């Protein structure tokens, strides 16, 4: 992103945080190496696989095909659709995507079994992530030895390569493993079969950014293959951790739309991309204007709609505060100042409609005036508007929601009738 000249009302100044569609802090370092690393890391989206492990979510084969197309169209490079061994419906979805072709690579996951890898290949997948369950807990649960797990993984990777698949070893709970165990896994499998990459799975969201950076950097010293990062959001740090992983040289970042996934979920796709591009100056080839369309498709298919205060896809373009709505009216609507004076980025950057002023508990007269603009009640005097505003506050407390345009007009009609 290049610096933009901003007229501050008295003189011209250059603000390195200002862009045509955003206005963020000039304190952001935007280091060229970080930007390049973020741009280079592939996005491996797991909405359709790990996202479906969120409680209550069940995508149909048609849902998976439709969402996978949307993910590919928006710029995601790799779409993880399912574990084919889980059923015929998921297998059909992969086959359909493979037959029609997508810009994104189609990936699946598998147990470390040659038969599972063969099944993945048979449905037309481009790549397979092989589950590595080798921490102390899993070894105790399944009664396995580490050598057995490494043998199974090595054999499964070899079979994947024979079948022309890209291969990744997904090391479950890698973030809570000892350094010795992680080294044993990566060097052991690498020596036998050299998969394309190893995915560091922060299965329980147990990392913070500096730890993520150190872990990814350490893992990169153990192999010439790629190191991917799969973050969970148990402490609300998945985006920060994923950015830290990228800047440490991760070859791919695993994401999910809205952050869907096991328990609290994965790194939110939309948050990671927008933060990387806007705050760090990356150039991830991603059509951000399609974010809201993709969000809507996933919300409908999953039945789980994002909260109104969710970053990027939430209702940041609605203004209820009387103070902010007055500032917006004076500076932007009347003064011609850019929208991003009062927002970190413009709504159209992520495919949202323009800013809307709504009426609610924290509103003032400006909100009521905007709500009545274009109606027969737009010329009411301040005393009448204050009466309406009191009713707006009362209703908002009762309904816990903004007052609709229809209700606002009804309140205005009642006030006019009573005069």
Q: What pLDDT does residue 419 have?
A: 57
Which regions of 17-77 does DSSP assign to beta strands (E)? 18-19, 22-23, 42-45
pLDDT tens-digit profile of 166-208? 999 999 999 999 999 999 999 999 999 999 999 999 999 999 9
Q: What pLDDT does residue 25 have?
A: 96
The pTM score is 0.94
Q: How many helices and strands in the chain, by DSSP H and E? A: 15, 14
CA atoms within 13 A on the CB side of 23: 13
pLDDT grade for 418, boundaries at 50, 70 and 90: confident
Asked if pLDDT for residue 10 goes beyond 60, the answer is no
What is the C-alpha to C-alpha distance for residues 413 and 266, in angstroms, rounded to an integer?
Answer: 49
pLDDT grade for 16, boundaries at 50, 70 and 90: confident
What is the C-alpha to C-alpha distance for residues 174 and 40, in angstroms, rounded to an integer?
Answer: 23
The SS3 of residue 40 is helix
What is the C-alpha to C-alpha distance for residues 189 and 182, in angstroms, rounded to an integer?
Answer: 11
Asked if pLDDT for residue 94 goes beyond 60, the answer is yes
C-beta separation of 44 from 78 below 8 A:
yes
- Residue entry with tokens 């070899």: 158
What is the C-alpha to C-alpha distance for residues 274 and 286, in angstroms, rounded to an integer?
Answer: 9
pLDDT tens-digit profile of 344-376? 999 999 999 999 999 999 999 999 999 999 999
Q: Could you tell me what percent of the chain has a pLDDT over 90?
A: 95
What kind and span of H or E run contains 170?
Answer: strand 166-171
Question: Comparing C-alpha atoms, which of 224, 180, 177 is closest to residue 200?
Answer: 177
Q: What pLDDT does residue 6 have?
A: 44
More confident of the two residues 14 and 47: 47
DSSP letter (8 states) at residue 9:
S
What kind and span of H or E run contains 81?
Answer: strand 78-82
**Average pLDDT over every residue of 335-339:** 95
Burial 46-79 (b: 16+ CB within 10 A, else e): bbbbbbbebeebebebebbbbbbbbbbebbbbbb
CA atoms within 13 A on the CB side of 81: 39
DSSP letter (8 states) at residue 330:
I
Distance of CA 211 to the CA centre of its chain: 21
């Amino acid at each position: 992103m290049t610096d933009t000249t901003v007229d501050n009302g008295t003189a011209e100044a250059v603000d390195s945080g200002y862009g045509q569609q955003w206005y963020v802090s000039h304190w952001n370092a935007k280091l060229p190496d970080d930007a390049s690393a973020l741009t280079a890391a592939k996005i491996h989206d797991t909405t359709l696989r790990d996202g479906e492990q969120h409680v209550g979510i069940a995508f149909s084969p048609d849902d998976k095909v439709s969402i996978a197309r949307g993910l590919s169209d928006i710029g995601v490079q790799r779409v993880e659709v399912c574990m084919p061994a889980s059923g015929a419906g998921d297998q059909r979805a992969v086959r359909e995507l493979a037959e029609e072709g997508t810009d994104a690579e189609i990936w699946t996951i598998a147990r470390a079994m040659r038969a599972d890898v063969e099944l993945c290949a048979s449905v037309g997948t481009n790549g397979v992530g092989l589950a590595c369950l080798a921490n102390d807990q899993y070894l105790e649960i399944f009664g396995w030895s580490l050598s057995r797990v490494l043998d199974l993984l090595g054999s499964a990777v070899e079979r994947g390569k024979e079948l022309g698949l890209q291969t990744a070893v997904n090391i479950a709970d890698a973030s809570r493993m000892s350094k010795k165990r992680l080294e044993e896994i990566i060097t052991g499998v690498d020596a036998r079969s050299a998969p394309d990459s190893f995915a560091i799975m922060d299965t329980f969201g147990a990392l913070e950014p500096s730890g993520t950076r150190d872990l990814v950097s350490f893992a990169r010293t153990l192999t010439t293959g790629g190191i991917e990062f799969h973050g969970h959001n148990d402490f609300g740090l998945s985006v920060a951790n994923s950015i830290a992983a990228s800047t440490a040289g991760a070859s791919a970042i695993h994401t999910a739309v809205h952050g869907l996934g096991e328990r609290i979920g994965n790194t939110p796709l939309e948050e990671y991309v927008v933060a990387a591009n806007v705050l760090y100056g990356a150039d991830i080839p991603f059509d951000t204007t399609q974010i809201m369309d993709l969000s809507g498709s996933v919300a409908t298919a999953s039945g789980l709609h994002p909260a109104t205060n969710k970053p990027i896809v939430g209702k940041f373009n609605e203004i209820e505060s009387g103070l902010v709505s007055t500032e917006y009216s004076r500076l932007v609507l009347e003064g011609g100042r850019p929208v991003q004076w009062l927002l970190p980025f413009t709504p159209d950057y992520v495919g949202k409609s323009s800013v809307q002023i709504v009426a609610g508990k924290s509103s003032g007269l400006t909100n009521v005036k905007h709500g009545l603009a274009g109606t027969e009640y737009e010329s009411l005097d301040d005393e009448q508007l204050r009466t309406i505003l009191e009713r707006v506050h009362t209703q908002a407390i009762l309904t816990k929601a903004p007052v609709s345009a229809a209700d606002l007009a009804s309140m205005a009609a009642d006030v006019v009738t009573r005069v």
